[in-house]
Chains A and B, each alone.
Chain A
Amino acid sequence: MKRLYLYLSISFLCPFSSLGQSPISQGQSITNQWNDVTYLTYTNFRMRVTTFEKPIVLEWGRLPSGTFSKEETEKLKCLSVKKYFSDLDLDHAMWKTYCSEEYINILKMDKEKFDKKKEVDIRKYPDYQFQHVFYWIDYLIDGKQYCLVVCNYQRKRVEKLPKHMKEYGKEHGISGSILLKQDGRWKNHAEHKFSYPGVMQFSDLEELLRIEKVGFVIDGVEHPRPHAVMPSKELRQAVGKKGRGVSP
């Protein structure tokens, strides 16, 4: 229902929409509200999913023309700098301003390594010409704000958000970029906290939306990953949550 309402809102706000076939401009997003998610062990956890019905497409790491908010622009710049720095007019000092300390340390990216990687000509790899941003998941975990941007790289432009991301990812490959909001701005980031359930489900958009909706995640015997469930009344009471959309 929430998504339907958002679709309707978007249609209403687009004066050029024709009935039944709304042209969606690149990057037009559907952002859900913040949702508490109970992981039984990690209780201080909120998430919200933003999907792009028409994916944002960066060509050779360049941001597309369009109206993006400051937050969106910051996130997209991080993506650009992250993989395409060899193709950009960017030195090590400037690159570091887009990265958290943890990210730099994990990569062991000192100036020497950076200069070496600058020599890798990404344009020799045509499969990386277009970077598609399909959706991102904002997380609030223990007071820190993270974002996991889910992308796909191809030599051809993809015009529409695939219907079944999990299957699409198996065929075409999708990966994630982890960002952290630090000192008031988004930075490329990596840390083990992203072994959290729910975050790990990033390649399965349908499951992410289920987790958002249900608000509970639990380990399962039959599932390789923790998944959305509506636990028993007793369990919900034990963790002090009622669960959304369900009568207690």
Chain B
Amino acid sequence: MTANYSGVADSTVVADTGSGYGDKAVHISIIDEKKYDEGWDFNQGELKVIQDKLKAAIDAISGGDLDLSVTGTLGVEFKRVDMYDDGSTYGYFADITGTVNANFPDVDISSPDLYVLPGVYVKLAGGFSASKISLTGATSYDQSKASPGIVAGSLTGSTTASVGAEAGVGVDDIVNFSIAVAGSTALSASGGIAVTGQDIKATGTIAATDFEVNAVGNLETLFGDLEAFNVTHPFDCDVSKTFTTTLYTFN
């Protein structure tokens, strides 16, 4: 038997009960339901724990107290249905679609003045820009169907990091410099939405690691000459935040 269920509250749908039996009206009783549209611009709710962890991660990297800007909506709908309205068979329905993006403000990073010569310093400075963490729902799950589908979703992250050498005290100009980076400057995010037992959970990790920047180039000193310099600075960005939040429990 197959029936197309529209996903709205208590419904009567037309079910094809098989060849020779014709169509019959089947009443599906919804005994539990939760529907909401969730963005990350909220202070309460199931996704708040994710929002808090994201903020904690970016605050740790920046050393500041930054606000996230959020876009998108995650449409969430859960149901537990009495399949035949007789208490004999229960089924679950879950639908999570859409994407919420947490966009981080640009984060500046800077080394202290790095000593090159007496009274001559260079600075390594730059930042993270276009940093974004996205939680995408990809859940279309309906136990009333022959192929119930899956509960799934993904957490992804991206960022653009840039670092350059800047003239510090005693430097008129910097020319011909190049930068090498050891370690990752990416803000990573991994995880997603999955069923654990009776729970639909969003879990994930947001992480950044330390990295080291080496700059080599020529600087013009106040004496009117060029000196080749080679400086290295480790940037302390090591942070890892894991989260788990239950979006819904199938009763």
Chain A interface (Cβ < 8 Å from any Cβ of B): 82-86, 103, 106-107, 109, 113-114, 117, 120, 122, 125, 127-128, 148, 153-154, 169-170, 173, 175-178, 188, 190-192, 194-195, 200-203, 220-225
Cα-based distance from A153 to B227 in the complex (angstroms): 12
Cα-based distance from A32 to B227 in the complex (angstroms): 25
Q: Which 10 A-B pairs have the closest CB atoms?
A: A127-B118, A117-B224, A176-B228, A224-B182, A224-B214, A195-B178, A175-B227, A200-B216, A203-B230, A82-B225
Cα-based distance from A194 to B214 in the complex (angstroms): 14
B228 adjacent to A194 (CB under 8 Å): yes
Most buried by A among B176, B220, B223, B228: B228
Query: Can you name 14 extra interface pairs (CB under 8 A) apart from A175-B227, A178-B228, A201-B230?
Result: A83-B225, A117-B223, A125-B118, A128-B223, A175-B116, A175-B228, A175-B229, A176-B230, A194-B218, A200-B214, A200-B230, A203-B230, A220-B182, A224-B213
A83-B221, A195-B176 known; A224 vs B228 contact (CB < 8 Å):
no
Cα-based distance from A236 to B119 in the complex (angstroms): 45
A127-B119, A224-B214 known; A202 vs B182 contact (CB < 8 Å):
no
Q: Which of A82, A202, A220 contacts B230 (CB 8 A)?
A: A202
Q: Decide yes or no whether B70 CB sits under 8 A from chain A.
A: no
B216-240 interface code vs A (CB 8 A; 1 in, 0 out): 1110111111111110100000000
Residue of A nearest to B224 (CB): A117
Cα-based distance from A193 to B120 in the complex (angstroms): 24
Q: Decide yes or no whether B181 CB sits under 8 A from chain A.
A: yes
Cα-based distance from A120 to B218 in the complex (angstroms): 20
Q: Which of B119, B225, B226, B228 contacts A125 (CB 8 A)?
A: B119
Q: Decide yes or no whether B117 CB sits under 8 A from chain A.
A: yes
Report B188 CB to chain A, min CB distance, Å: 16
A-B contact pairs, 29 of them (CB 8 A): A83-B221, A83-B223, A85-B225, A86-B224, A107-B224, A109-B224, A120-B224, A125-B118, A127-B118, A148-B228, A169-B230, A170-B115, A175-B117, A176-B227, A176-B228, A176-B229, A176-B230, A178-B218, A178-B228, A195-B176, A195-B216, A195-B217, A200-B216, A203-B230, A220-B182, A221-B182, A224-B182, A224-B213, A224-B232
- A residues near B221, Cβ cutoff 8 Å: 83
Chain B interface (Cβ < 8 Å from any Cβ of A): 115-120, 175-176, 178, 180-182, 212-214, 216-218, 220-230, 232
- A residues near B226, Cβ cutoff 8 Å: 82, 103, 106-107, 178, 188, 190
A177 adjacent to B228 (CB under 8 Å): yes
Residue of B nearest to A149 (CB): B228
- A residues near B222, Cβ cutoff 8 Å: 120
- B residues near A128, Cβ cutoff 8 Å: 118, 223
Report B204 CB to chain A, min CB distance, Å: 25
B182 adjacent to A190 (CB under 8 Å): no
